[in-house]
Amino acid sequence: MTVATELRFAFDNSFVRDLPGLFVPWRPTAVEYPELLALNEPPAAELGLDPAALRSPAGVAVLAANVLPDGAAGVAQAYAGHQFGNYVPRLGDGRALLLGELIDTSGRRRDLHFKGSGPTPFARGGDGRAAVGPMLREYIVGEGMHALGIPTTRALAVVATGQLIPRDNRWLPGAVLTRVASSHLRVGSFQYARHLGDDPSLLRRLADHAIARHYPEAAASANPYLALLSAVLEAQAALVAQWMAVGFVHGVLNTDNVTISGETIDYGPCAFLDAFDAGAVFSSIDQAGRYAFRNQPAITLWNVTRLAEVLLPLIDDDTDRALEAARGTLEPFAEKFEAHWMQLMRTKLGLATADDDPLVRAYLAVLAAAGADWTGSFRALSAWLRGTDAPLLALAHDPAPVLDWAARWRAVLPDPIAAAAAMDAVNPVYIPRNHLVEAALTAATENDLGPFHKLLDAITRPFDVRPGLEGYEYAAPPEFGRYRTFCGT
């Protein structure tokens, strides 16, 4: 007997209900030969969607953006953004569409969103399309972040369109990504609402929508809009601390890529550190290093400050009072970030209290001087505590400073073996290493999804050393060279 599979989407589209003026109703452009490349079953199940139904021709037609299911919104969202510091008043979804919102099995509201589904009125001359490689990158890096416990948007599926699209003087296979997010509200959405909204109520409606959706407790505060700002600041401070702890470089932290929810969004030119270098920059267009690894906390504050500016009229009718209140709210950012980050770093090193912070800082200096692999170093340290020296000795040409530091460190650990176990529970073995991601995407572009699925398997259980994944734990070999990433995706 065959069991009938069903594809039902119970959309409840609060964004469209609440926020006329912040979107354009739009339809995706159909493609002729869609082919499902990857379906992410865990988030599908969370959304109450049947994976078998999504794999059926009717499901693939939806995931290719060929068919908008009943009840779907189908809107291109409007937003503005500071791109590398320059304000662009009208960006918006040039190649993306919000399908609508689903309430997941835990009662959480989730956006379903297409990327690469054809040009919209925000396309600004772009083709509205996306290539297979970058959409699979978004899938795999997002899953890597999720497995590391870092808030992120997630891929539901990637479908090849069967069309070729021109990129960098080449023709590349096109793809549509279906993305799940707690929302697509960005700092840039607020900038647009304040400056280009066609009606003065839009900013307030957006702020109220964001509060209801992400920070309902702010509604009960004496000043809900200040409470919203404070909540976003807190979420972003926590997020960037987590990035720094895993060696993640986002690469394009424009205000349109900074979510109100505190989820990581847009995996275009992102990368992970191999050798620890606080100044690391990977994006080919980030020539001034604005979004360098070490600048991420400061740029996050800069981005949230842009949110504060546009919220001023909601915070207080009196501009001076509004400014003062906003400044006071932003002021604790450095302290918040530092507290989150130090907490994470102490945990990574099996340390217990703030008394150990100088030891953490000393470790960073030793690692930087050695140019040692960030991710690998923490597992090398736990192995060393258990009496396996080789990985630690292999970290640097001259391991003496590392060993020196390690001896001081071990001396403060009350129970080194327990510390090693605790460290292994938080320090990943497998992350989406740049060279592995590149190899997987190159193979996928040539129709071989094997390396993609193998890497996906590795990074979705990042803490468990497993046979068959030999080599996946290491930094790129020297011949990989200096990693460069690109925005034109």
The answer to whether residues 114 and 161 touch, using CB atoms and an 8 Å cutoff, is no
Q: Which of residues 72-91 bind Mg ion (CB under 5 A)?
A: none
Task: Give the nearer residue to ligand AMP in terms of CB position, either 93 or 424.
Answer: 93
Amino acid at 363: Y
Other CB atoms within 10 A of residue 74 CB: 21
Please name every residue paired with 96 in a beta bridge, in sequence order, or none if there are none. 115
Binding mask 198-237 for Mg ion (x = CB under 5 A): ----------------------------------------
Closest approach of ligand AMP to the CB of residue 180, in Å: 17
Beta strands 35-39 and 154-167, pairing class: antiparallel
- Residue 217 vs residues 151, 231, 346: alpha-carbon distances, Å: 20, 10, 30
Pick the piece of the chain touching ligand AMP (CB under 6 A) from 67-75, 126-134, 171-179, 289-297.
126-134
128 binds ligand AMP (CB under 6 A): yes
- Residue 253 vs residues 84, 311, 438: alpha-carbon distances, Å: 8, 20, 22
Closest approach of ligand AMP to the CB of residue 130, in Å: 7
Task: Give the nearer residue to ligand AMP in terms of CB position, either 44 or 130.
Answer: 130
Closest approach of Mg ion to the CB of residue 286, in Å: 15
The answer to whether residues 37 and 85 touch, using CB atoms and an 8 Å cutoff, is no
DSSP structure class, residue 171: E
Q: Give the torsion sign (CA, 161, 166, 172, 177).
A: negative
Which of the listed partners (Mg ion, ligand AMP, none) does 352 bind, with a CB threshold of 5 to 8 Å by partner kind?
A: none
- Residue 460 vs residues 62, 138, 141, 374, 400: alpha-carbon distances, Å: 26, 14, 10, 19, 35
Residue 481, classified by CB atoms within 10 Å of its CB into exposed (0-12), middle (13-18) or buried (19+), is exposed
78 binds ligand AMP (CB under 6 A): no
295 binds Mg ion (CB under 5 A): no
Is the backbone of residue 118 left (phi > 0), alpha (psi -120 to 50) or beta? left
Q: How far, in whole angstroms, is CA 396 from its chain's centroid?
A: 31
- Note if 198 is an active site residue: no
The answer to whether residues 336 and 233 touch, using CB atoms and an 8 Å cutoff, is yes
Task: Give the nearer residue to ligand AMP in terms of CB position, either 174 or 428.
Answer: 174
DSSP structure class, residue 66: S
257 binds ligand AMP (CB under 6 A): yes
Closest approach of Mg ion to the CB of residue 294, in Å: 23
Give backbone dihedrals phi and psi of 445, rounded to 5 degrees, phi first.
Answer: -65, -25
How far is Cα 363 from Cα 358, in angstroms, rounded to an integer? 9
Task: Give the nearer residue to Mg ion in terms of CB position, either 101 or 266.
Answer: 266
Choose, from 50, 256, 274, 373, the residue flagged as catalytic. Answer: 256
Pick the piece of the chain touching ligand AMP (CB under 6 A) from 127-135, 224-232, 318-326, 468-476.
127-135
Q: Any residues with CB less than 8 A from the CB of 483 and at least 6 apart, and which?
A: 271, 282, 434, 435, 476
Pick the piece of the chain touching ligand AMP (CB under 6 A) from 123-131, 199-207, 321-329, 334-342.
123-131
Q: Which of residues 256-285 bind Mg ion (CB under 5 A)?
A: 257, 266
Which of the listed partners (ligand AMP, Mg ion, none) does 280 bind, with a CB threshold of 5 to 8 Å by partner kind?
A: none
The answer to whether residues 95 and 116 touch, using CB atoms and an 8 Å cutoff, is yes
Which of the listed partners (Mg ion, ligand AMP, none) does 128 bind, with a CB threshold of 5 to 8 Å by partner kind?
A: ligand AMP
167 binds ligand AMP (CB under 6 A): no
Q: Which of residues 443-482 bind Mg ion (CB under 5 A)?
A: none
Candidates 67, 103, 123, 421; binder of ligand AMP (CB under 6 A) is 123
Closest approach of ligand AMP to the CB of residue 366, in Å: 36
Candidates 46, 208, 263, 266; binder of ligand AMP (CB under 6 A) is 266
Closest approach of ligand AMP to the CB of residue 115, in Å: 7
DSSP string, 216-241: GGGGGSSSHHHHHHHHHHHHHHHHHH
Which of the listed partners (Mg ion, ligand AMP, none) does 92 bind, with a CB threshold of 5 to 8 Å by partner kind?
A: ligand AMP
Residues that bind ligand AMP (CB under 6 A): 91-96, 119, 122-123, 126-129, 257, 266, 268, 487
Catalytic residue numbers, as ranges: 256
